[in-house]
Amino acid sequence: MSRFPALLLLLPAAVFAAETDPATGLLKNPGWEQVRAHCGGCHSHALVTSQRADRSTWLDIIRWMQETQNLWQFQPEVESQILDYLAASYPPQPNRRRAPIPPGLMPKTTEPDI
C-alpha cells in the first residue's frame, strides 16, 4: 500500500504554520520587522509574543508605554503596521486560561471563616 495519503495528512500544519524568527521569536507575518526594530529595545520580544490582545488593546498597551515608559512616538503609518501585525499575529485567545476549579473540588480551608 502507498504511504502517500499518510504524508498528505501532515501537509496542512507545514503549510499554515507562520515562520518564526529564531533571534526574536516573532512570527514572520507582514510588519514583523517594525516590531523587531521598535519593540525589543527595553524588554525582550518575548514580552510581546507572550501577550494576546485585539487591536485596540494593543494600542492601549503602546499608549501606556508612551505615557509612562518613555516609548517614543511612531509615524502614523508605522504605528498602523505595528498594530496590524500585533492584532493578526497575537490576537485574543479566550481559552488560554483553564476554567476555574469548581469550589467543591478545592482543598478544604483550615482557616476559620472570617
65 three-state secondary structure: helix
Kindly identify the residues of this chain, within the stretch 52-91, that bind ligand HEC according to CB under 6 A. 61-62, 65, 69-71, 82, 86
Compute how many residues bind ligand HEC; rule: CB under 6 A: 16
Residue 97 Cβ vs ligand HEC, minimum distance, rounded to whole Å: 15
With contact defined as beta carbons under 8 Å apart, do 29 and 81 qualify?
Answer: no
83 Cβ contact partners less than 8 Å away, ≥ 6 residues apart: 55, 58, 59, 62
Measured in degrees and rounded to the nearest 5, phi and psi for residue 110 equal -95, -10
- Cβ-based nearer residue to ligand HEC, 28 or 38: 38
Q: What is the CB neighbour count within 10 angstroms for residue 46?
A: 12
Residue 23 Cβ vs ligand HEC, minimum distance, rounded to whole Å: 16
Kindly identify the residues of this chain, within the stretch 23-42, that bind ligand HEC according to CB under 6 A. 38-39, 41-42
- Chain residues that interact with ligand HEC, rule: CB under 6 A: 38-39, 41-43, 47-48, 51, 61-62, 65, 69-71, 82, 86
